[in-house]
Chains A and B, each alone.
Chain A
Amino acid sequence: MQPAEPSEGGGDAGLLRTLFQEHSRAVLAFTLRLTGDRFAAEDIVQEVFLRAWQNTAELREVRSVRAWLFTVARNLFIDRVRAKAARPAEVTDLSSVPLASKDHAEGVVDSMIVYEAMGELTPEHRAVLVQLYYLGRTVSEASRALGVPEGTVKSRSYHALRAFRRTIGSGTKEPTG
């Protein structure tokens, strides 16, 4: 995954398509897990990409487009949960701030780096992590799904984690904890 580069100018359909082609599977899977409902999930996805389209200038500044999209999605979901609880007045300000709420700002800085590192993984490394980590499959199941030997699955999982850690290490300006 290479994050889309929102450099073609704001508000154009081409950019919106590019963002959608690169990120919609991830964002929809995320919102589907949050909502448990395909219609509700797609409704949030629609709004996430519209906001991206409306905030091209802001997207140019972020380290990870995907982190931005996920944060908007999560905030929209929270808005709607709160709206269902008949407290819409409290979320007006939050909804106008696409990035994470301030009380979690520190955590978001860290996760930005994690998102960024994830974006640096090669397709092969990513595919193994999707199988083992995201789908929770065993090595032999992943081997069958990917059509590669079990030894390859194991070694790719090792190199994926090492590459991931290296990228995070180089992306962290100050050592943590």
Chain B
Amino acid sequence: MSTHDQGLLAAHSLGALTAAETVELEQHLADCPECQLELDELTETRGLLDSIPPEALLDGAAEDSDLLLARILRAAETGDTATPAEPPDTAVAEATDITKATGKKAAKRRPGGWRRGLLVAAAVVIIAGAFGGGMLTGQHGGGAPSQATAESGTQTFTAFDPGTGVGMSMDVTNGLGWVALEGHFTGVTPGTPCDIYVITKSGQRILSGGWVAPPNANTATISVYGSAIVPPTDVASIAIVTTQGRQLVTTSV
């Protein structure tokens, strides 16, 4: 580098140069106080960016967020805001039905309505997905055989995949024609986007939830929630798969 290159300085202040480019630039900076001054100012400016979350740079609507927007509009219209100003346990009244349905698990549920709220939210998403989006009625439109109620309750299934090192303990709660899932995982690589699939006896794979493994996912137990509209008696197995399609662990039901 023989001339002053402001773009190179800016890219350097943002940490966007390769090692070779950095070496070359630093050689130039050693003999060019003018560029060094410019770089100092750019670096200081970049430091201002650090004062707020980097996500603030992003624009537009979230991807695949139609259902989320529909849920928000519905909540706004009905006043079902679930604000923390209310006691957490009243946040999502519908959730009590799920708690009751879990029988022995009810006492183990975490305090507060948030987690259960997520479960309901997940159920609403799946319901909406199953019926082509649109109105979120919260009702099962059909295929809810009464025999499912005979299986009411929660069962726990555990599995460990030595190939991936991922362990799973999955609580499956039977509902009226659907299942609620509460999974606990160990050994997932942090940052891995994962999906829960319920696989039916006829081989159908139903996407039932998803999450991105948090930074401590490989050392701590991570709890996630999901649900699927499938009669509990039709569930054959539950699989955890990365969004890249790699199966991490599976359990037969």
Rounded to whole angstroms, the CA-CA distance of A153 and B11 in the bound complex is: 8
Is A83 touching B10 in the complex (CB atoms < 8 A)? no
Q: Which residues of A contact B112 (CB under 8 A)?
A: 83-84, 88
Rounded to whole angstroms, the CA-CA distance of A149 and B81 in the bound complex is: 48
Q: Which residues of B contact A35 (CB under 8 A)?
A: 214
Q: Which residues of A contact B132 (CB under 8 A)?
A: none
Is A118 touching B56 in the complex (CB atoms < 8 A)? yes
Q: Is the interface of A mostly helix, strand, loop or mixed?
A: helix
Rounded to whole angstroms, the CA-CA distance of A153 and B10 in the bound complex is: 10
Is B73 touching A17 in the complex (CB atoms < 8 A)? yes
Is A50 touching B53 in the complex (CB atoms < 8 A)? no
Q: Which residues of B contact A83 (CB under 8 A)?
A: 84, 88, 111-112, 114
Is B61 touching A25 in the complex (CB atoms < 8 A)? yes
Is A154 touching B10 in the complex (CB atoms < 8 A)? yes
Rounded to whole angstroms, the CA-CA distance of A91 and B16 in the bound complex is: 41
CB < 8 Å neighbour of B16 from A11, A32, A126, A142: A142
Q: What 1/0 mask marks residues of chain A from 101 to 130 whose CB sits below 8 Å from any chain B CB? A: 000000100110011011000010010011
Q: What 1/0 mask marks residues of chain A from 73 to 116 whose CB sits below 8 Å from any chain B CB? A: 00010011001101010011001100000000001001100110
A111 and B51 contact, Cβ closer than 8 Å, known pairs A28-B62, A39-B118: yes
Q: Considering only CB atoms, which chain A residue lies closest to B110 in the complex?
A: A84
Q: Considering only CB atoms, which chain B residue lies closest to A134 in the complex?
A: B54
* CB-CB contacts below 8 Å: B29-86 with A: 41-42, 45-46, 48-49, 51-63, 65, 68-69, 71-73, 75-77, 81-85
Most buried by A among B58, B87, B213: B58
Is B68 touching A22 in the complex (CB atoms < 8 A)? no
Rounded to whole angstroms, the CA-CA distance of A22 and B65 in the bound complex is: 12
Rounded to whole angstroms, the CA-CA distance of A145 and B85 in the bound complex is: 44
* CB-CB contacts below 8 Å: B72-131 with A: 72-73, 75-77, 81-85, 87-88, 110-112, 114, 117-118, 121-122
Rounded to whole angstroms, the CA-CA distance of A154 and B8 in the bound complex is: 6
Q: In the complex, what's the smallest C-beta–C-beta distance from B114 to chain A, in angstroms?
A: 6
Q: In the complex, what's the smallest C-beta–C-beta distance from A6 to chain B, in angstroms?
A: 14
Q: Which residues of A contact B153 (CB under 8 A)?
A: none
Q: In the complex, what's the smallest C-beta–C-beta distance from B185 to chain A, in angstroms?
A: 12
Is A24 touching B65 in the complex (CB atoms < 8 A)? yes
Q: Which of B140-148, B163-171, B204-212 lies on the face that meets chain A?
A: B204-212
Is B211 touching A38 in the complex (CB atoms < 8 A)? yes
A5 at the A/B interface (Cβ < 8 Å)?
A: no
CB < 8 Å neighbour of B7 from A22, A24, A25, A158: A158
Is B58 touching A25 in the complex (CB atoms < 8 A)? yes
Q: Considering only CB atoms, which chain A residue lies closest to B80 in the complex?
A: A50
Most buried by B among A50, A80, A84: A50
Q: Which residues of B contact A130 (CB under 8 A)?
A: 57-58
In the complex, the 9 A-B pairs of residues with the closest C-beta atoms, listed nearest first: A154-B7, A36-B214, A158-B10, A29-B55, A30-B55, A26-B58, A95-B84, A132-B16, A28-B62
17 CB < 8 A contacts A-B: A16-B72, A25-B59, A26-B55, A28-B62, A33-B53, A36-B214, A67-B56, A70-B53, A76-B84, A84-B112, A117-B48, A118-B57, A130-B57, A132-B14, A134-B57, A158-B42, A161-B42
13 extra A-B contacts, CB within 8 A, seeds A110-B51, A161-B42: A1-B59, A17-B73, A37-B211, A37-B212, A38-B210, A50-B83, A83-B112, A86-B111, A107-B51, A123-B59, A132-B16, A154-B8, A161-B13
